[in-house]
A and B are shown apart, each in its own frame.
Chain A
């Protein structure tokens, strides 16, 4: 189980900062796509084990460094479950072209699903090894969710983004710490 990383701030307002990378670059699976999370000390941690306060607004910022894979089900192109519209690079959006999606951040049991726009295939200065920096090509997706009572909720990516695996599933799509995680509401 990857280490638990708490959100910054406390109830009723907290924030989480994550990044997605095309290949983590270290560990047992250096070429796997993955999420990382920034801990309250500002250090990037390879984990998808997130801790947030209950009955709070959680501001989530995701720096998205991967290129688009595309949604197999375009249904996930519509963001749902957020407080207000999410934004990509500062612009609110109610629908993302399914072909432009690189990943999704989805907490199905909470009804949250936000598509993450991918970096253009021909973008310059693409990140090759995590953790990526803001100087490298990325999109910034921000949104807010409201937590309710305490509980543990799974979250996942709905884009079949596991390059090298049959049909894009398997590997990181089936593994904690990469494209699947737990949200601990405490």
Chain B
């Protein structure tokens, strides 16, 4: 108890901090060890794992801040609630220099530290976080020179995929070999789309005339979903499909099957190009 204006009152600050510390000791480990494994986008690729780790760290850092605000809020509602009909102003609240300075310094340190950590992660461990890096990517993952190139072509309203390593066949399906570095070359034939392979953590804008490169290394077998995340017209919401991460043997078999199916089409597809321009063939436009 302390004495304030002639009255003995509890040490509210100590109480609030005590409650906050206890809650943090419970909640932060829960965030890291329980919630973290459920945060998006999952661990289907190396890059998705880095994103999930980033989300876990951010949530774990955010939790004490939310708890501090929440504890203070609830404590004030319960303890400082007026219990009788007396209507009078409380004691005047004036600025408290050390508290303000501590608040500014603490938040600045958190923001700067997150910016440094985020930048390091983006460049060094997540290799561009599987985002589109434009035609000349700078954040290259290990093994990028031997990456399997796959061209992603957005068009109103479907995705197609060309495999320049394999006679440049084109298909509406997408299968990836596990453990292999993939270089998605994302482009568009008409308007701006955005290639979003959710569980792989890949998101790259598909822009006509631009070869937007995004790297990913699938680590787990399974199914991933593909969406368009750029409003692109009437059937934007239908630019959805599923891809699969398969074993190397299954991938080879799938490639052979796709090449055979596309054999008659190959001469008309023309040589592989890194970009396309939406020029009309004949009349339209």
Give chain A residues whose Cβ lies under 8 Å from the Cβ of B160. 73, 75
Does B280 belong to the interface (CB within 8 Å)? yes
Q: Do A75 and B280 form a contact, CB below 8 Å, given A98-B268, A108-B158?
A: no
Does B156 belong to the interface (CB within 8 Å)? yes
Q: What is the total number of residues of chain A having a CB less than 8 Å from a CB of chain B? A: 36
Give chain A residues whose Cβ lies under 8 Å from the Cβ of B191. 169
Does B8 belong to the interface (CB within 8 Å)? no
B235 CB to nearest A CB, Å: 6
Does B153 belong to the interface (CB within 8 Å)? yes
Does A78 belong to the interface (CB within 8 Å)? yes
**Contact A77 B265, beta carbon cutoff 8 Å:** yes
Which of A147-178 touch B at CB < 8 Å?
A: 154, 156, 158-163, 165-169, 173-175
Q: Do A70 and B281 form a contact, CB below 8 Å, given A75-B269, A108-B158, A169-B191?
A: yes
- Complex CA gap A77/B86 in Å reads 83
**Contact A71 B281, beta carbon cutoff 8 Å:** yes
**Contact B280 A70, beta carbon cutoff 8 Å:** yes
- Complex CA gap A162/B278 in Å reads 13
Does A23 belong to the interface (CB within 8 Å)? no
Does B285 belong to the interface (CB within 8 Å)? yes
Does A68 belong to the interface (CB within 8 Å)? yes
User: Could you give, for residues 67-110 of chain A, a 1 whenever the CB lies within 8 Å of some chain B CB and a 0 otherwise?
Assistant: 11111111101100000000000000011011100000000110
Give chain B residues whose Cβ lies under 8 Å from the Cβ of A159. 284
Number of A-B residue pairs, CB cutoff 8 Å, is 92
**Contact A94 B156, beta carbon cutoff 8 Å:** no
Chain A residue, CB-CB nearest to B161? A75
**Of B170, B190, B265, B268, the contact of A167 (CB 8 Å cutoff):** B190
Q: Do A73 and B233 form a contact, CB below 8 Å, given A78-B262, A78-B265, A160-B190?
A: no
Does B192 belong to the interface (CB within 8 Å)? no
**Contact B281 A99, beta carbon cutoff 8 Å:** yes
Does B67 belong to the interface (CB within 8 Å)? no
Give chain A residues whose Cβ lies under 8 Å from the Cβ of B157. 108, 156
Give chain A residues whose Cβ lies under 8 Å from the Cβ of B235. 154, 156, 180
**Contact B265 A75, beta carbon cutoff 8 Å:** yes
Does B90 belong to the interface (CB within 8 Å)? no
**Contact A69 B265, beta carbon cutoff 8 Å:** no
Knowing that A69-B284, A75-B170, A167-B279 touch, tell me 9 more A-B residue pairs with CB under 8 angstroms.
A72-B280, A73-B155, A98-B268, A108-B157, A162-B284, A165-B285, A167-B285, A174-B233, A180-B235
Can you offer 11 A-B residue contacts whose CB atoms are under 8 A?
Answer: A67-B283, A69-B280, A71-B281, A72-B155, A72-B189, A72-B278, A73-B153, A94-B264, A111-B172, A168-B285, A174-B234
